[in-house]
Chains A and B, each alone.
Chain A
């Protein structure tokens, strides 16, 4: 049984030869291929994949309760084989992703790639930037150390300073008047469930629009 026969078996059933090439084969122009600036978005996406994988592994040991959170992170870092590697990669990929997303946005901005007909993709891109930073903010609390506590205190305080609705937003975010067990579980749910689903949908839109509209030429 060779690879060819497997491909043929699938092709007979799913018309791969007909359907796959238009999806997979899309040569990019030479000025795009040869310029590393065009890799920034891809770098951000690669970081996201790494974050998703390492994040799933971290979730297997992490316990989002005030008593256990710090201890479980300590356990990951000291006792779990390769635990410190997985967590460090998660942390570094997170920082790299924010940097890549920011640089990607600057590339788009300075090359004018947001202009007609790509306005909507710019809007989706900004949403992705906001979601990425929210990822960072919510993940920052999870180790439940002093740094985490005070960063969240400040962050939710900023949310609370929005006129009129700010107080309600911070109340729902914190789950009470002070950062505690409720905040931890809320941020955990946001970090591992709500944001990943949202970013997956938006990434899908982002990539689909790029495929439909193509990469813009330089100014």
Chain B
């Protein structure tokens, strides 16, 4: 029949293998530590983590404030009808849109995209879909961002990767 497979394992060989395993273990630990160090810390993208945007007094009616929400540029608008907040990364090619008071729009400078400041809907220009709304709450004289109004919609926009 088939030849026997003979493995000779001397005491010395065994010790060498064991030492090698220990060395591998430590090397693995080092690599893991380095990767852990380099891995970005994921901020709390929880369901209802309140993020303070601004004091009410800071943003009088007809003005806006930029802030970051889940790592995305966003904008808080104080409209006559109340506060509104949207992700301000343009859904067209990912430029940052901003509040343009003289035209009463949220404006993306890259390709002249215009958004309705009340709903985030596209008024004109190339953007294919509206800016995603952010739920906000006003309490104790300050405005807080709560969560994306429609997380599934945010997930569907490539420029908002990782934000919802």
Contact = CB atoms under 8 A, between A and B. Distances in A.
Interface of A: 153, 171-172, 174-178, 180, 182
Contact of A178 (B35, B38, B162): B162
13 contacts: A171-B40, A172-B35, A172-B38, A172-B40, A175-B38, A175-B40, A176-B40, A177-B40, A177-B71, A177-B163, A178-B71, A178-B72, A180-B71
A219 B5 CA distance: 53
B161 A177 contact: yes
B39 interface: yes
Contacts of A176: 40, 71, 162
B163 A172 contact: no
A201 B109 CA distance: 46
B94 A153 contact: yes
A30 to B, nearest CB: 51
Given A153-B94, A177-B162, A171 B71 contact: no
Contacts of A177: 40, 71, 161-163
Contacts of A171: 39-40
A178 B40 CA distance: 11
Interface of B: 35, 38-40, 71-72, 94, 161-163
Nearest to B161: A177
B36 to A, nearest CB: 11
B111 to A, nearest CB: 13
A84 B163 CA distance: 39
A167 to B, nearest CB: 10
B72 to A, nearest CB: 7
Contacts of A175: 38, 40
Nearest to A182: B40
* Residue with the greatest number of chain A CB neighbours at <10 A, chosen from B39, B40, B94, B162: B40
A176 B38 CA distance: 10
Contacts of A182: 40
B136 to A, nearest CB: 21
B62 to A, nearest CB: 27
Name the 7 nearest CB pairs between A and B, nearest first. Answer: A177-B162, A176-B40, A172-B38, A175-B40, A178-B71, A177-B71, A177-B161
A180 B162 CA distance: 14
A173 to B, nearest CB: 9
B138 to A, nearest CB: 27
A171 B71 CA distance: 14
Nearest to B93: A150
Contacts of B40: 171-172, 174-177, 182
A182 B37 CA distance: 13
A182 B161 CA distance: 17
Given A177-B163, A178-B72, A180-B71, 15 more contacts: A153-B94, A171-B40, A172-B35, A172-B40, A175-B40, A176-B40, A176-B71, A176-B162, A177-B40, A177-B71, A177-B161, A177-B162, A178-B71, A178-B162, A182-B40
